[in-house]
Amino acid sequence: MAREMIKPGKTIGIIGGGQLGRMMAMAAKEAGFRIAVLEPAEGAPCTQTADIVIQAPYNDKEALKQLADVSDVITYEFENIDYEGLKELMNTAYIPQGAELIRITQNRVHEKEALTKAGVKVAPYRVIRTMKELKQGIEDLGLPAVLKTATGGYDGKGQFVLRNAEEADQAAVLLQHGECVLEQWLTFDKEISVIVTRNPEGETTYFPAAENIHVDNILHQSIVPARISKETEEAAKEAAERIASALSLVGTLAVEMFVTPEGGLYMNEVAPRPHNSGHYTIEACGISQFGQHIRAVCNWPLKNTSLLKPAVMVNILGEHVEGVISAIPEKPEWSIHLYGKDEAKEKRKMGHVTILTENLEETLSEIDESRIWQK
């Protein structure tokens, strides 16, 4: 049975009050929706744009019920939410993305199993629970290798790069957090991501692949179009399509991939939501990843995602805020987004800049020459 379209004037509930929720809310408000948000922290970015704020932990059953009572549809802005609570909430609320996507993507073991089942490549890996398994894994996969906690890691947290067998004892500290995954170290040329969106009718769109550059394990820049061959771009889209189909996706999924020197693709990880590497879409595409996500969960037809103009997106961390604000008079073409966070801490994502350009290399030089992002 086809699901009815959620009409403007209705209320969209968002679990999570960070910047992704804020940008989702702003896109939803443009289309005439009301916003309710569940978020434990006072003054969080999304709460500043919401009509209804429920301040409580994400696993608070009473708060989740309250969110369901005031919302016509519920979505989420990050994956580290309570799977069991979300599953239970589905009995009383409309959550088109479902809970299964959360179960898979919040655990690296489940995620790698799902990706392998979808028929896409992942780096050779072993599931590690004990020191003995870690030593065996090192023997099987060789070094260097990366040990990652199965749950809770982001922006490089919960990871240890093993370069020699003597580092096993240091790496094993991660086992205190529970199950881990040991991945073979891949030699790759580039990291890219493809953001795929699907509505309940199965209509699917893909945003152009972004080339992602990380500094200290935090996304620094996204360059679009990615500097890869047409064949690699097509293969990346096909991989995203396989994954979206295998997961019965509704909503948004970001698929991060490694591109090998030969042009091969290995999936790194997936995120069941709009993604930092898709922020360029706000200015550079006919619809943003946030607008498309809202359309998908409300069962609207999806818009064309073609790139209107090449773009570079640069993250603004706490240490960059002053420099970016000082640059406003000289940089009229920079689209500056600040997320309304109260304190500019070092390495904390505070916003981003997007620059539309006819010449990517010139723009990358301009960013470097600004010296805002110099160490």
Integer-rounded Cα Rg, in Å, for the chain is 21
What is the predicted pLDDT for the residue at 250?
98
As beta bridge partners, residue 337 has 352
Residue holding tokens 């898709």?
278
DSSP string, 214-277: EETTEEEEEEES-SS-HHHHHHHHHHHHHHHHHTT--EEEEEEEEE-TTS-EEEEEEESS--GG
What is the predicted pLDDT for the residue at 284?
98
Domains of the chain (ranges; CATH) run: 11-95 (3.40.50.20), 124-184 (3.30.1490.20), 190-370 (3.30.470.20)
Instruction: Please list the ranges in the chain whose pLDDT falls under 50.
Output: 1
What is the predicted pLDDT for the residue at 156?
65
Q: Measured at the alpha carbon of residue 154, what is the angle toward residues 151 and 156, in degrees to the nearest 5?
A: 115
What is the predicted pLDDT for the residue at 375?
73
What is the predicted pLDDT for the residue at 2?
55
> Judging by beta carbons within 10 Å of its beta carbon (0-12, 13-18, 19+), is residue 152 exposed, middle or buried?
middle
What is the predicted pLDDT for the residue at 152?
81
